[in-house]
Every structure is written in structure tokens, then in C-alpha cells.
Amino acid sequence: MATLDTIKQILQDNLDIDPDTVNEDSTLDSLDLDSLDLVELIVDLEDAEGIDFGEPEGLETVGDIIDHIESLK
């Protein structure tokens, strides 16, 4: 499964966010993700992708998250 699809699935399952509204340009603010939501997303992404996400700074969009994950693979 592509990373974007994984993110869409996690957001739909955990936060009832319509996957059709999520793309690489979606900002975390536009998705109404607070810091706790982001932590939950990261933990689920670590499990799904088999990575240690670390503590990156400057994540503002879904694309930023995807780029960071791809840099860890």
C-alpha cells in the first residue's frame, strides 16, 4: 500500500476524516489535526511502515510526512 493510502486509511479509521479530502498538499491544520492526533498518526504509521519516525520538525502537510517516511526507508 502506498504511503498516502496508508495515511488516508489511518485518518479515516481514527478520526473519521474522508479520505477523498486528503492529498499530499493537505495541511495538518486543514485536516484539523491537533498535536495529539499527529502523535497517534505517527505511532500508527510507524507500525504500518515498520519505521522509527523520530521527531522531525517542520511537518506542515501530508506531503511532508510522506517525504519524511520515504527518507527513512
d(CA 18, CA 20): 5
| CA separation, residue 58 to residues 43, 48, 64, 70 (Å) | 18, 22, 8, 16
How does pLDDT run across 19-73, given as a tens digit for each residue?
999 999 999 999 999 999 999 999 999 999 999 999 888 999 999 999 999 999 8
Confirm whether 34 is a catalytic residue.
yes
The closest alpha carbon to 33, from 16, 50, 49, belongs to 16
Domain with 24 in it: what CATH number? 1.10.1200.10
Indicate the number of domains in the chain: 1
Per annotation, catalytic residue among 5, 29, 34, 47:
34
Domain of 64 in residue numbering reads as 3-72
The closest alpha carbon to 17, from 3, 4, 1, 33, belongs to 33
